[in-house]
Structure 1
């Protein structure tokens, strides 16, 4: 297993990554807010993956081993916070809603790396106030620990359009529908339909970041129709896939 890079201080800065670019697994002694002003960001930890478009940010607590991947040309805004500052009181990664005001605060605050000026300090204080009232969003795709469940999740990850029932998937991996249902609830904390919807939304964000047409995204991610995809996407993100593409 490769050694995980340890960077004690989480930087505050703007960084650009080309589509497909990665930042390898690392950890900080500080907390970090990770926000994509353009493109779609995927953050992966041992517990699963989080995907965030421009209306969301990702909270990465101090000490969490994590890696970044860019989908579409990524404009990455990083905000480091000392471990003693935890405005969200969260000890695990989370996806947060980003209001128009919070978006502008993050972008402005990350223009200058680690700005300790009086203006920068005031801006940071307002940013922390906005973080405290931000809402968590259910965009986490957990990674299963159970080996049988891993096989089921791998089948669906390879083809999110796979529409087989849990019973049919169970036949392939040698487990009953009842056993798999129990594993989804106990291991991942969600039902099978909830996990599959999360997987499809994650894949849809990636495809949209690559400028894939909405109809193709709906088809490749397993929705029965484009309108069904648009409805689920709007309820999850507050806007349509077409708006997201623009």
Structure 2
């Protein structure tokens, strides 16, 4: 007989402008978005996890949701003993294709059937996948670096502004090489990679609101829809059109 695992799965939905109070739990918690971009405020830091990523919270982590658009998501509540095998810090995990399939299947199961042996075995698979998942401090990290922070603010304000690295360096009175080095140190990635990630986060939000692929591409500063579609497929694994179709399914 398959034992009942100390893991509980809950399906939830956030509607735009929904208010949330801060909370913490004595168990570990995983937030995984099925549709939309998952956003949490944790200890004063903004965490983002688009599709194929999830946010891991160790036990007793104070947090609240700040999603700007409708999000359908799952949470996994993991017993403190089992949570010890995972990171003791908040992080963003990459969700494997196997885990995506498992969580998608369990999401469609009635709550009272999650304890049956076959579904408990799938929860064990999901947990095993978490143990192997690659992690990062944040999908879209912030920065307090006096040279990097103003550029991130510029990207957030106007993604259509396509300044070169040389032009960005001039804005903060430094060299391209110094700017590149400080970006890697502060963000763990290049400024262009950060900007691409911001674009895909903004794109998923716009597509979820019903924007056309063409309008989304234009708003994000792409000269053609094909360039936008190529970027989106690279980072999300599907085209913008397929992403919209999955949301409606």
TM-score w.r.t. the length of structure 1 is 0.78
Work out which of the residue numbers 79, 83, 86 in structure 2 matches 1:82.
79
Aligned to 1:104: 105
Aligned to 1:196: 195
Aligned to 1:182: 181
Which is strand-richer, 1 or 2? 1
User: Do the aligned partners of 1:71 and 1:209 also contact (CA within 8 Å) in 2?
Assistant: no
State how far apart, in whole Å, the 2-side matches of 1:37 and 1:199 are. Answer: 19
For residue 63 of structure 1, report the CA deviation from its aligned partner.
4.2
Q: Does 1:21 align with 2:22?
A: no
| Alignment root-mean-square deviation, CA | 3.2
Q: Structure 2 matches for 1:201-212, cutoff 5 A?
A: 201-212=200-211
For residue 244 of structure 1, report the CA deviation from its aligned partner.
0.6
Aligned to 1:6: none
Give 3-state SS (helix, strand or coil) of 2:76's partner.
strand
Aligned to 1:4: none
Aligned to 1:219: 218
Q: Does 1:241 align with 2:240?
A: yes
User: Do the aligned partners of 2:93 and 2:133 also contact (CA within 8 Å) in 1?
Assistant: no
What 5-or-longer segments of structure 2 have no aligned partner?
1-6
Q: Deviations over 1:175-196 (max 9, x none)?
A: 4333322210111111121111
For residue 157 of structure 1, report the CA deviation from its aligned partner.
0.8
Q: Does 1:94 align with 2:92?
A: yes
Aligned to 1:145: 144
| Larger deviation, residues 220-229 vs 230-239 | 220-229
Q: Deviations over 1:202-238 (max 9, x none)?
A: 1111111111111111122223321111111112121
State how far apart, in whole Å, the 1-side matches of 2:85 and 2:68 are. Answer: 27
What 5-or-longer segments of structure 1 have no aligned partner?
1-9
Q: 1:88 to 1:240 in 2, by over 3 A?
A: farther
User: Do the aligned partners of 2:102 and 2:122 also contact (CA within 8 Å) in 1?
Assistant: no
TM-score w.r.t. the length of structure 2 is 0.77
Q: 1:175 to 1:75 in 2, by over 3 A?
A: same
Aligned to 1:51: 49
For residue 174 of structure 1, report the CA deviation from its aligned partner.
3.6
